[in-house]
Structure 1
């Protein structure tokens, strides 16, 4: 398929924007869980539940979907030039994105568990849980930029 380079660049721009939005939400939602677990009054619990719901449904889901759709087009259009399917780094990146999607679903699962039960897990658990997307981000950026040969 012969795609104009301009379309590929626009798709890449939208992909990067969606990835940034998704990661911002992935970083912030577990941080809200930390504060939620540390709160003691009902008004705070309700406020955190609303914030968590809006972030998860209004930002995390749409940005994940847009990330995955634009990634599909980038791989489909760019494979003829960049030969993604011949590179091990590409499959490692896909696996890490798969882990990120699982993490995303865990965030949703935990969001529901926190409703009416702010002390479901300790704030220390949420602090460690919050580090997972950072580790994945570092690994993905290294794979995409350096493209190591194994």
Structure 2
């Protein structure tokens, strides 16, 4: 979707957001699946994403999870922003690892939403992210 086009349906919102998000593009994030309150994305860990111990920097896993979270929260049609997030890093990642983040709504009220994001390498959980979002009155 081009930058000057606005999304017409909920499932177009994450693609539109990605088109405006230079950081997520640099990460190489690809959208796999979108439903209301849900988004699944993936990326590959590259050499420039490694820390001094030759493992993926924790910010890389966090950023992938945060992107999935942000895309999922915005599928309701209103612009939503995170107000609290946290992550638990379970397993270290290395260059070449392909990781998938799956964000799913657990509770969406009028303004507040609660989401869990699982980050996996194949079937192995590598990080668990929790996010709280605030839905604004602004429409996409």
TM-score for the superposition, normalised by structure 1: 0.27
Q: Tell me which protein shows more strand as a share of its residues.
A: 2
Higher relative contact order (Cα pairs below 8 Å, separated by 6+ residues)? 1
Q: Which has the larger radius of gyration?
A: 1
